[in-house]
Chains A and B, each alone.
Chain A
Amino acid sequence: MQEKLRQLQAYNFAAYDMLLYLDTHPNDKKGFEIFKSLVEKTRQLKREYENEYGPIGQFSSAMFDSFEWLQSPWPWEKEGN
């Protein structure tokens, strides 16, 4: 679980950092391409993580057979990291 979470956190962070870069460099085409690929990889990792360990988005809870939002660990707890 931890390894998958670390990957997700890394790509999520990189994508967000590129978002801030694009805010002040909106015409950087190469930057936008990097952003797109980072976001795509983040989405893919999020889907994989959720399929295995439960929802990490509020509305992702709707993909499951039962309401599992409360089952997965909370981020501020040591066990959730």
Chain B
Amino acid sequence: MFEYKKFLEYPVKIKNPNPKLANVVITQYGGPNGELGASLRYLSQRYTMPDSMTKGLLTDIGTEELAHLEIVGSLVSQLSKGTMGKEWLDMQSAEYYADNGASVFPQSAQGNPFNAASIAVTGDPLTNLYEDLAAEQKARAVYDNILRVSDDPDVNDVIRFLRQREIVHFQRFGEANRTNLRRI
């Protein structure tokens, strides 16, 4: 089961609301390379993994991804908090506001709602692990893209933390993959 801790894994304290940036960051909440897909990918792959190392690693990284989902949700929430409809129009984000108001909805930056087709669960241990390695790199690349379009230091500090975690997870999946390869 999951137990909740009432604090974020990494602090989010945004001074300046910015609906347009919220509309970009949202992609790591519910987009194709986002944290929702990441947690579902790992937590769903666990069931057919043959060895306790990958069972444990997928459980623990999948759980951390849920903490990252909460961090991205907090970013989007604080970037939109207290904003009125007109500000979303001025920021050219009125389309999001029309459907969701100033709330947090799992979708990509392009407005596509979360789609589980962006994750793969195959039942094959090596295929799963290579999927996970690729997924960590794709998420890292999206965080790099966000860093290139955002000039808000409060946001970027959090994005840099999340980006680093993708690199650490990539490393751990690589180690698990090598252990699996030795077994074949």
Contact = CB atoms under 8 A, between A and B. Distances in A.
A56 B13 contact: no
Contacts of B13: 78, 81
Contacts of B12: 76, 78, 81
Interface stretch (B71-79, B94-102, B108-116): B71-79
A5 B11 CA distance: 9
A48 to B, nearest CB: 13
Contacts, number: 80
Contact of B7 (A9, A17, A24): A9
Contacts of A39: none
B14 A78 contact: yes
B9 A12 contact: yes
- The number of chain B residues touching the other chain, given as a range, is 20 to 34
Interface stretch (B57-65, B131-139, B145-153): B57-65
A75 B7 contact: yes
Interface string A43-77: 00000000000011110000000000000101111
B8 A26 contact: no
A28 B53 CA distance: 14
Interface in A1-29: 5-6, 8-9, 12-13, 16-17, 19-21, 23-26
B128 to A, nearest CB: 15
Interface of A: 5-6, 8-9, 12-13, 16-17, 19-21, 23-26, 55-58, 72, 74-78, 80-81
16 contacts: A9-B11, A23-B53, A24-B175, A56-B5, A57-B4, A58-B4, A72-B6, A74-B6, A75-B74, A76-B74, A78-B13, A78-B14, A81-B8, A81-B11, A81-B12, A81-B74
